Amino acid sequence: MFHVWRCATGPCHVVIPVHLIAITLVLLVSMPCQKRCLHSRCRQICGYPCVPCMETCAWTCRHHACDLRCHEICKRPICNEPCEKLLHCGHPCLGFCGEPCPSICRVCTPQYKDTISLMTMEEFEETDRFVMLPDCGHVFEVSGLDTWMKSEQCDSGTNSISPKSCPSCKNIIRQSLRYGNQIKARMKQLEDVKMRIFGNQQVNEGIVLLRRKQFDEALEQFLTGKNMQIR
């Protein structure tokens, strides 16, 4: 029986038979967590439950604000008002109020092409708005990216919980204000999986043995582990 362990927070994306989890954990314990927010970077080791950011939520604009903590699901609507800022070139921003300004301009970057709709700058309407993903800087027309973020992105044949990735460069989307709640909801699912793994006594005993490089005993520990439910 194969189970998927996809860690949202690091490079360790692996599909494994469940009895090989010990070997996977050897990989996990050696990598730093990649999760970050506008305030900080998680200092945990990849695969362990993340330390939640307790700073005040940074998602504020002229119209809406969230007064919860950074890691909590935001209690404010998305702002669909246009950004009123001017770009460095002096032309109006094509983004949304309170979001990072996309690095495209109707006048100065006519070569821009949206990789979801495959439309070029001149094919877009005056009223079309764009969103930039802060992790990689790629820019998309908003309706296409909204649909992408809502869609289930499943790899064929696996029942993985995978974080959303950029439609263009496939980098994991870790930071976005507009899509913050979707990102947090998926991360929460992954955190639940981590808690189930690391809340299991046998697993924890196995990890201690792994740290001492007692691999055979560790594997034994994992194999006898009961109630291991990894999804």
Token pair listed for 145 = 């990216």
Helix orientation angle between 21-28 and 215-224, rounded to the nearest 10 degrees: 120
Dist. CA 201–CA 203, nearest whole Å: 5
Among residues 11, 17, 81, 120, the one that binds Zn ion under rule CB under 5 A? 81
Q: Which helix (H) or strand (E) holds 6?
A: strand 2-6
Are 100 and 134 contacting, i.e. CB atoms less than 8 angstroms apart? yes
Q: Compare residues 75 and 150 and give the one whose CB is closer to Zn ion.
A: 75
Q: Cα(187)–Cα(8) distance, rounded to whole angstroms?
A: 7
Closer residue to Zn ion (CB): 85 or 113 = 85
Contacts (CB under 5 A) with Zn ion, residues 16-75? 33, 35, 37, 39, 42, 44, 50, 53, 55, 57, 59, 61, 63, 66, 68, 70, 74
Amino acid identity at 18: V
Beta carbon nearer to Zn ion, 39 or 150: 39
Applying the rule CB under 5 A, the residues between 99 and 158 that interact with Zn ion are 101, 105, 107-108, 136, 138
Instruction: Work out whether 197 is an interface residue with Zn ion (CB under 5 A).
Output: no
Residue type, 59: W
- Could you give the CA distance from residue 2 to residue 20 in angstroms, rounded to a whole number? 10
CB of 132 to Zn ion, least distance (A): 9
- What string of DSSP letters covers 39-71? S-B--SBTTSPPPPP-SBP--B-SS-B--SBTT
**How near is the Cβ of 197 to Zn ion at its closest, in Å?**
14
Give the interface segment with Zn ion, choosing from 78-86, 193-201, 203-211, 220-228 (CB under 5 A). Answer: 78-86
Number of residues that bind Zn ion (CB under 5 A): 37
Amino acid symbol at 25: L
| Closest distance to Zn ion from the beta carbon of 154 (Å) | 20
Residue with Cβ nearer Zn ion (33 or 209): 33
| 65, burial (CB in 10 Å: exposed 0-12, middle 13-18, buried 19+) | middle
Which CB atom, from 60 or from 214, has the smaller least distance to Zn ion?
60
Nearer Cβ to Zn ion (101/131): 101
Binding region for Zn ion (CB under 5 A): 9, 33, 35, 37, 39, 42, 44, 50, 53, 55, 57, 59, 61, 63, 66, 68, 70, 74, 79, 81, 83, 85, 89, 91, 93, 95, 97-98, 101, 105, 107-108, 136, 138, 166, 168-169
